[in-house]
Amino acid sequence: SAVISQKPSRDICQRGTSLTIQCQVDSQVTMMFWYRQQPGQSLTLIATANQGSEATYESGFVIDKFPISRPNLTFSTLTVSNMSPEDSSIYLCSVEGQKNTGELFFGEGSRLTVL
Amino acid sequence: GENVEQHPSTLSVQEGDSAVIKCTYSDSASNYFPWYKQELGKRPQLIIDIRSNVGEKKDQRIAVTLNKTAKHFSLHITETQPEDSAVYFCAPQGSTGNQFYFGTGTSLTVIP
């Protein structure tokens, strides 16, 4: 298993500002995944973050809007830049379990509200 | 990314009845097929999974069946209980093994 701490758990932000979400894992992992979950919707993969290389973004997500850092094997950040109300969502980080069985473990999520 | 759809999107059953949720996917190279349960306000958690060399797997009241030829797999819950009420997501693993795309989700309500 993996224990993931995410912060902030929630925040209210003003339009045009940026917010950085932090994700800390209790073990070293190769890949960390960032998801967005809009109210009542499924989880949409934003990007995959590998240590020592640029994150891989999914279609519809760009680095300028969602810059990601991955300074080591236990930590990653996702920044939501120049926020608008449409960015109001829950953002979740996730990792695959230690044995690479395919099971994903999630942080508790960061609920962002943009006014 | 992979196209993943679930049916139905919402499902209401009487306590004690069975529930079946189907997941269809597009990537024929997918080889890992999990189901996640997300209770209101909580993070998703794996409840059962299956690999492509197996057709069916059961764990107490829940089971998963896989039809690789038709590219779909299903979650079966028997003797449903109110605590089974949640949103269920399938998330077949992409062919590279590095992506996990979630299905559209099914909201299950078990009526006491």
Q: How far is B87 from chain A (nearest CA, A)?
A: 9
Q: What pLDDT does B86 receive? A: 98
Rounded mean pLDDT, A24-45: 94
Nearest to B49 by CA among B58, B61, B40: B58
Please tell me whether residue B83 adopts helix, strand or coil conformation: helix
Assign 3-state DSSP to chain B and report helix, strand, coil percentages, each to 5. 5, 55, 45
Nearest to B19, CA basis, from B64, B70, B57, B72: B64
> How many Cβ atoms from other residues are within 10 Å of residue A93's Cβ?
27
pLDDT above 90: percentage of residues in chain B: 79
Does the pLDDT value for residue B12 go beyond 70? yes
> Residue with structure tokens 């006014």?
A115
Nearest CA in chain B to A110: B43
**B98/A31 touch (CB, cutoff 8 Å), yes or no:** yes
d(CA A66, CA B92): 25
Cβ–Cβ gap B102/A44 under 8 Å: yes
Span B66-94, average pLDDT: 95
| Site from B102, B104, B106 to mutate, A interface, most A CB atoms within 10 angstroms | B102
Q: Got the DSSP string for A41-52? A: --EEEEEEEETT
CB pair distance less than 8 Å for B44 and A43: yes
pLDDT band at B53 (very low <50, low <70, confident <90, very high): confident
Q: How far apart are the first and last CA of chain B?
A: 39
For residue A94, the chain B residues in CB contact (below 8 A) are 100
State the Rg of chain A over Cα. Answer: 13
| B45, B93, B101: residue with CB nearest A102 | B93
In order of A30, A62, A86, the CA distances from A72 in angstroms are 9, 22, 31
The reported pLDDT for the residue numbered B97 is: 65
Task: Indicate yes or no: CB of A45 within 8 angstroms of CB of B1.
Answer: yes
C-alpha to C-alpha distance for A78 and A47, rounded to whole angstroms: 10
CB contact under 8 A, A102 and B49: yes
Question: Looking at residue A75, what is its pLDDT?
Answer: 95
pLDDT of A92 strictly over 70: yes
Whole-number Å distance between alpha carbons of A11 and A17: 12
**Euclidean distance between the first and the last CA atom of chain A, given in angstroms as a whole number:** 37
What mean pLDDT is reported for chain B? 93
User: Which member of B1, B46, B105 has the closest CB to residue A42?
Assistant: B105
Comparing CB atoms, the residue among B32, B43, B104 nearest residue A106 is B43
Q: Given a cut of 80, is residue A15 above it in pLDDT?
A: yes
- The yes-or-no verdict on residue B52 having pLDDT over 90 is no
Instruction: Nearest by CB to B89, from A43, A48, A107: name it.
Output: A43
Token duo for residue B37? 């349960």
What percentage of chain B carries pLDDT values higher than 70?
Answer: 96
pLDDT tens for B13-51 read: 999 999 999 999 998 888 899 999 999 999 999 999 998
Residue range A45-71, pLDDT digits in tens: 999 998 888 899 999 999 999 999 999
Average pLDDT over residues A29-45: 94
